Amino acid sequence: MHLTPKWPFKIAVPFETEEVRNGIRRGNAALEVFHNLNTEFGFVPVFAIAGRGSFPTASGSQGIDTTLKLIATKSLSDRETDRLHVNFAWRRNGGREEGERRNSYFAAIGYSRVFSSKTVLVADYVHEQELEKGKAAQFIELGLRQSLIPGTILSLGAGAGIGKDAPDFRVTLGIQLGF
């Protein structure tokens, strides 16, 4: 969805809550706005910013969490089939509980390869601070984005955790609908 051509936005509503802690379900609905700052030229990558608000929608959720992202993407070939991505994000935990961070960060470096007008392969390394103070997780992930019909994209990814704080693995499934 777009507010204007340069300001697309997305709404995320969990169909299953994010976690259960002490028998209380926690989950958030979110609204994110994205803006391209420039177009790629020469050695200068595309830069974009995104802002996200996550609103408590399940019992046990509280406070509005905010995220600010800086995104850079650079084509590695003239055909623009190979791209390098670097993302940084700062998160503010508005509903902080005892033992949780008020602020955390996320960083990722990734590579994508366009195989066809409908299929993109993505590989990345992710480092993110967990909400719990003193914990951070790293992942190596591999995923596919597949255009199903115009305006609809299916994403599927799997990642292996690295280090003692990371889960052994995680699987991500996404459906993007354009309006």
- pLDDT tens-digit map of 145-166: 999 988 888 999 999 999 888 8
Cα separations in angstroms, 150 against 34, 83, 117, 121, 147? 20, 23, 11, 19, 7
**For residues 30-54, average pLDDT:** 90
* 168 falls within a domain: yes
* 25 falls within a domain: no
* 116 falls within a domain: yes
The rounded distance, in Å, linking the Cα atoms of 53 and 48 is 17
* 76 falls within a domain: yes
* 82 falls within a domain: yes
Query: Does 137 score more than 80 pLDDT?
Result: yes
Report percent pLDDT > 70 for the chain. Answer: 82
* 113 falls within a domain: yes
Q: How confident is the model at residue 60 (pLDDT cuts 50, 70, 90)?
A: low
**For residues 39-50, average pLDDT:** 93
pTM: 0.80
Range of the domain at 63: 57-177
Extract the tokens encoding 2.
Answer: 């777009």
| pLDDT score, position 179 | 63
* 47 falls within a domain: no
Count the domains in the chain. Answer: 1
* 96 falls within a domain: yes
Query: Does 2 score more than 70 pLDDT?
Result: no
Query: Does 16 score more than 70 pLDDT?
Result: no
95 neighbors 53 (Cβ within 8 angstroms): no
Closest CA to 157 of 116, 106, 108: 108
